[in-house]
Amino acid sequence: MSDHLYMPNERWLEALKRMRARIASGLKLDAVNSDVTGDKYTHCSWGMCSRDKEQWPESGDHLWPDQFEERGRVAPRYSIEGQVCPLCAEAKHNGCFYECRVFQRRRGRRGKKPLARSFVLHLYDEAIAEFEQRMEAEKAASAPV
């Protein structure tokens, strides 16, 4: 596994906390699922699939750090097992569009009302706490005896 392709756990945790802070400060919910041939992508301003530069401000968080610095190209590293977006309703790895609570609501699944900001903040609080516990457990398991 090539390390430069995958998001380190410490950076993922920072990104979770950054997104939670952005949502709490009033970030508007925006979601796009592009079906343009040759330009397929999913973006949710409240999700970890966000393509906002403010969510991924460090060049080291990108697959192509030089292109982020030179052209502003946002391409976050790939997530690894255990790095799940709090908006993911089903962790089956079928893609954000199929598993995201925001996109499921737009398709009529799980109700039609938009997600409440307070509920999303709660999801982020839970995800951050669980991820911190996981990182602590991994750290303790790898510590010399």
pTM score of the predicted model: 0.86
CA atoms within 13 Å, Cβ hemisphere of 6: 10
- Average pLDDT score, the chain: 87
pLDDT bracket for residue 34 (50, 70, 90) = confident
So what's the pLDDT on residue 38? 76
User: Can you state the angle between helices 117-142 and 9-24, rounded to 10 degrees?
Assistant: 160
Question: Which DSSP helix (H) or strand (E) runs through 22?
Answer: helix 9-24
So what's the pLDDT on residue 33? 76
Cβ atoms of 36 and 48 within 8 Å: the answer is no
So what's the pLDDT on residue 104? 74
- What are the extents of the domains in the chain? 3-83+114-142
pLDDT, one tens digit per residue, over 78-132 is: 998 889 999 988 765 556 666 788 877 655 555 567 789 999 999 999 999 999 9
Cβ atoms of 100 and 44 within 8 Å: the answer is yes
